[in-house]
Amino acid sequence: MTNEVKIIFPDGKESYVEKGISLKEIAENISIGLAKKAVAGKVNGELVDVGYSISEESAIELVTLESEEGLEVMRHTAAHVLAQAAEHLYGKGNVQFGIGPVIDHGFYYDMKCRESITQADLVKIEKEMQKIIQENIPIRSYELTLEQAEAYFKQQNQPYKLELLKSIPNDERITIYEQGDFSDLCRGPHLPSTGYVKAFHLTNLAGAYWRGDSDNEMLQRIYGIAFAKKKDLEAHLHFLEEAEKRDHRKLGKQLELFMFSEEAPGMPFYLPNGQMVRQKLEDFSREAQLKAGYQEVRTPLLMNQQLWEESGHWDHYHENMYFSEVDHTNFALKPMNCPGHMLIYKQKLHSYRDLPIRLAEFGQVHRHEYSGALNGLLRVRTFCQDDAHIFVREDQIEAEMEKAIHLIDDIYGVFGFSYAVELSTRPEKSMGDDAAWELSEQALGNVLERMELPYQVNEGDGAFYGPKIDFHIKDALGRSHQCATLQLDFQMPEKFDLTYINADNEKVRPVVIHRAIYGSIDRFLGILIEHFAGAFPVWLAPVQAVILPVSSVHQSYADQLKETFQEAGIRIETDYRGEKLGLKLREAQMKKIPYLFVVGDNEEEQQTINVRKYGEKQSQSVSVEEILKRLKKEIKEKNG
């Protein structure tokens, strides 16, 4: 009987090693450098500790901090180092630990401390963590029976761990990870020792209900970030600082764009400035859609429950809908615009020559979101969706999809957005037969291939009525936001008995393409505020220019200028306050107004304007005609 087993490396190469050899030893056999860098491994696709022993033929991979999996393991260990540091500082048994998972860019740990932890305490916890890391404490794991684990955590005064033990399936191993004087219930894997934790920082402190249930007690959650290199940590801290400056909720208040009120939780109120930006977004999209052959419609906010049952939304979506009773009949506020557009199509007979029919709507919809999920304009309970439904013959599907993608590309190009494309396939809960789904998915794939658009397949994430293409835009900070979507639907025409008369005078079903570009105009506005850091381009800015007279004697000239620019369609204001010019300039900059016009003796005498553009230190004196021409050009071309 041989004492060797076969291992297969990621490049397909095979080797035979002694049974029971660890991944660490395999790394050492390859090179000392790799052995020092290996922090974990993958065996047959499963992430494991680097000390894992190979007992049978396996596909293996050595994991370093240069990979996402390696970073995940490091962040997981950093959470344990955080817990160990808290226990050192506040005393064993005085800190009761919940869970400490990995999250994007970092980790957190939920805990209940006898002495409440403050934001200022994070500095001393960080220092203790650094000590633990410098000690380079080996990390090892061992198994316990359920009885042994319960006895251990009872003795350690860890009630939350005892509760977690109850949820572990009977057939699952119970593993404890130990680093020096600290042990924790954990599936792993972890780093070989604490010294492998590199650049980290504790970012903030928050409250969190145990297991996310508001009926449970509140614990304290300490967040941290961790990276393999200090420069990556510094870059991310800079990103967080920039993201904080660009927070659309903060800028929305500063620029007087929108507000929220307890009288309508999760439902935005648009102030004059914000409504102007929204209006310009709608006007831009409306103009582009009209040129592309869309007809605009409007459907009721409230429609009866029977309609939503007929459409299939009731079975898949009713928990997110708002209801009311009118004349002893149940009605629902629409969460989507599709059923209304189906009724509009159905109200008259159509010939094959009429298709495609493109119906567009800026439709207000309502969807119930949990209060904890609400997030400014990015997650609300009512929003305006720039919906369109394109009714096509089967032979028109691919051409119409291409036209819709070109329209999306044109609109996103104006904002400077690049995007990634994702094809989402049939979900587990869906309507319709296999043949229709296969045809739909094939059609979408054909379009993307022909247009040479790189895309990823997102298995099982399509809509319940059909597959879809989603567009993920990248903002100025490189963050991804899913906005535009194209969804192919063979089911809704069947549900609503939609037909057209074909060339053989027979009734046949159309196919529906669901299309959104902004998605939610409210959410898109939130993204734009952060993308532009509140400094909208001239065409979109609520106030495009402000006139600042040097003193009250220049008010008459300022009035004359304001009238000239307003007649030309420029959104302009004047600041007649008796404050110093420097203060008025600073405040106009804070409002991120694209153009500042200063007028004094020289300007009035020469009939010019001293112009300063937002973000620029230099100003220049130009004629009224010249600056008006420049503004009109920037607005028309949507630059600036």
Buried-exposed string 576-614: b where 16+ CB fall within 10 A, e elsewhere: eeeeeeeebbeebeebbbbbbbbbbeebbeeebbbbbbb
Active-site residue, 483 included: no
Neighbours of 130 (CB within 10 A): 14
Long-range contacts made by residues 318-323, C-beta under 8 angstroms, separation at least 24?
Answer: 319/368, 320/367, 320/368, 320/369, 321/366, 321/367, 321/368, 322/366, 322/368
Active-site residue, 19 included: no
| Annotated catalytic residue within 24, 221, 246, 468 | 468
Active-site residue, 249 included: no
DSSP character for 119? T
Dihedral of the alpha carbons of 481, 379, 458, 436, in degrees to the nearest 10: -120
Active-site residue, 514 included: yes
Active-site residue, 338 included: yes
Q: How far is CA 566 from CA 257, 275, 542, 560, in A?
A: 22, 19, 14, 10
Active-site residue, 562 included: no
How far apart (Å, rounded) are the C-alpha atoms in residues 267 and 520?
13
How far apart (Å, rounded) are the C-alpha atoms in residues 503 and 565?
56
CA 407 to chain centre: 23
Active-site residue, 220 included: no
| Annotated catalytic residue within 389, 495, 523, 562 | 389
| Annotated catalytic residue within 105, 179, 289, 338 | 338
How far apart (Å, rounded) are the C-alpha atoms in residues 329 and 479?
45
- Of the candidates 506, 510, 487, which has an alpha carbon nearest to the alpha carbon of residue 497? 510
- CB-based contacts of 610: which residues, under 8 Å, 6+ apart? 597, 598, 599, 600, 602, 603, 619, 620, 621
- CB-based contacts of 530: which residues, under 8 Å, 6+ apart? 243, 246, 247, 248, 251, 475, 476, 477
How far apart (Å, rounded) are the C-alpha atoms in residues 504 and 524?
45
| Annotated catalytic residue within 24, 76, 341, 514 | 514
Q: Do 538 and 592 form a contact (C-beta atoms < 8 A)? A: no
Neighbours of 236 (CB within 10 A): 18
| Annotated catalytic residue within 84, 96, 385, 491 | 385
How far apart (Å, rounded) are the C-alpha atoms in residues 503 and 395?
13
How far apart (Å, rounded) are the C-alpha atoms in residues 560 and 566?
10
| Tokens 């051409």, residue located | 399
Angle at 520 (CA atoms; ends 517, 523), nearest 5 degrees: 115
Q: Is 170 helix (H, G, I), strand (E, B) or coil?
A: coil
Q: How far is CA 232 from CA 78, 122, 348, in A?
A: 16, 21, 61
Angle at 541 (CA atoms; ends 536, 546), nearest 5 degrees: 115
| Annotated catalytic residue within 112, 236, 367, 592 | 367
How far apart (Å, rounded) are the C-alpha atoms in residues 307 and 323?
13
Dihedral of the alpha carbons of 375, 381, 387, 393, in degrees to the nearest 10: 110
Here the tokens at position 328 are 């002893």
| Tokens 């057939």, residue located | 171
Identify the bridge partners of residue 222 per DSSP, sorted by sequence position.
109, 205
Give the active site residues: 338, 367, 385, 387, 389, 468, 514
